[in-house]
Structure 1
Amino acid sequence: MIKRILVFTLCILLLFAISLSVHSYFISQPIAFQLWQVYLYHAVAALIVYVSIEGVSRTLPNQAGYAYLALMLFKIGIFVFVFKDSVFENEALTRTERVALVVPLFLFLTAEAIGVAKLLNNQK
C-alpha cells in the first residue's frame, strides 16, 4: 500500500512539474488566474482521491468504484468553490483561459483514473 502511494505521488509530482512547465511556456498572453494554483489544486486533489480509494478498497472493496465517483463530484465542487472569485466571476473567459482550465483537469483526471484502475484491478 505505501509503495503504491509513493509511486503514485512521484508520478503526480513529475506530471505536475513537466506539464506546468510546458503549459507555461506555450501561454503567450496573460490569463486572469494563476496557472500554478490550478495545477497544484489538481495534483493535491488527485493524491487525496488516490489515498482515499486505497483506504476504501482495503475496507470495502466492492464500494471503491462508487467512492471514486463520489470523490470526483466532490473534487469538482471544491474546485468551483475555491476558484469562483478568480475564474468564474469573469463573464467572458478567453479561449486561452478556458484551455488553461481544462488541460490540467484532464491530465490529472487521466493519471488518477489510471492509478485507481490499476489499484482496483490488482485488488481482484
Structure 2
Amino acid sequence: MIKRILLFTAVLVFLFILSYFTNTYLVKEMTISFSLLNVYVFHVLAALVVYAIVEFIADILPNQAGYAYLASIFIKIGLFVLIFNASVFSKENLSRPERVSLVVPLFLFLITEAVAISKLLNNKQFN
C-alpha cells in the first residue's frame, strides 16, 4: 500500500513539473489574475489525498471504495471553489489563457487519479 502511494506521488510530481513549467512557458507574456502555482499545488495535493483515502478505504471496505472516490471528488471540487473563490471566480470574464490554465491541471490530475484508482480497484477486486 505504501509503495503504491509513493509511486503515485512520484507520478504526480513528474506531471506537476512537466505541466506547470510548460504552462508557465506558454503564458509567460500574458497576465493571469490568479496564482498558477497555487492551482497546480492544490490539484497535486488533492489528487494525492483522494488516492490515499481510496487506498485506505479499499483495504478496510473494498466494496465501498468507489463511493469513497466519488465523495472525495465532490469534496475536492467544493474545496477548490472555496479556496479560489476570491481570485478565480470573482472575475466576470476570464481570458482564454486563464480558462485553459484552470482546466488543464484539473483534467490532467483528475484523469491521472482516475486511472490509478481504477487500477487499484481492479487489483483489489481480484485479490
- TM-score by structure 2 length? 0.96
Deviations 1:8-61 (A, max 9, x none): 000000000110011111113110001011000000000000000001001110
Which whole-Å CA distance do the structure 1 matches of 2:109 and 2:37 have between them? 14
Question: In the alignment, which residue of structure 2 is the partner of 1:14?
Answer: 14
1:74 equivalenced with 2:75 (yes/no): yes
Question: In the alignment, which residue of structure 2 is the partner of 1:2?
Answer: 2
- TM-score by structure 1 length? 0.98
State the identity as a percent: 53
How much does 1:95 deviate? 1.1
Which whole-Å CA distance do the structure 1 matches of 2:12 and 2:66 have between them? 21
How much does 1:96 deviate? 1.0
Would you say how many aligned residue pairs link Structure 1 and Structure 2?
Answer: 124
Which whole-Å CA distance do the structure 1 matches of 2:36 and 2:55 have between them? 29
Which whole-Å CA distance do the structure 2 matches of 1:14 and 1:25 have between them? 17
Structure 2 unaligned residues grouped into runs of 5+: none
Which whole-Å CA distance do the structure 2 matches of 1:65 and 1:48 have between them? 15
Letter in 2 for 1:85: A
Let me know the Cα RMSD of the aligned residues: 0.6
Question: In the alignment, which residue of structure 2 is the partner of 1:64?
Answer: 65
Structure 1 unaligned residues grouped into runs of 5+: none
Which whole-Å CA distance do the structure 2 matches of 1:96 and 1:71 have between them? 28
Which whole-Å CA distance do the structure 1 matches of 2:54 and 2:116 have between them? 10
Question: In the alignment, which residue of structure 1 is the partner of 2:24?
Answer: 24
Structure 2 SS opposite 1:5: helix
Which whole-Å CA distance do the structure 2 matches of 1:15 and 1:103 have between them? 12
Structure 1 residue runs of 4 or more that deviate by more than 3 Å after TM superposition: none
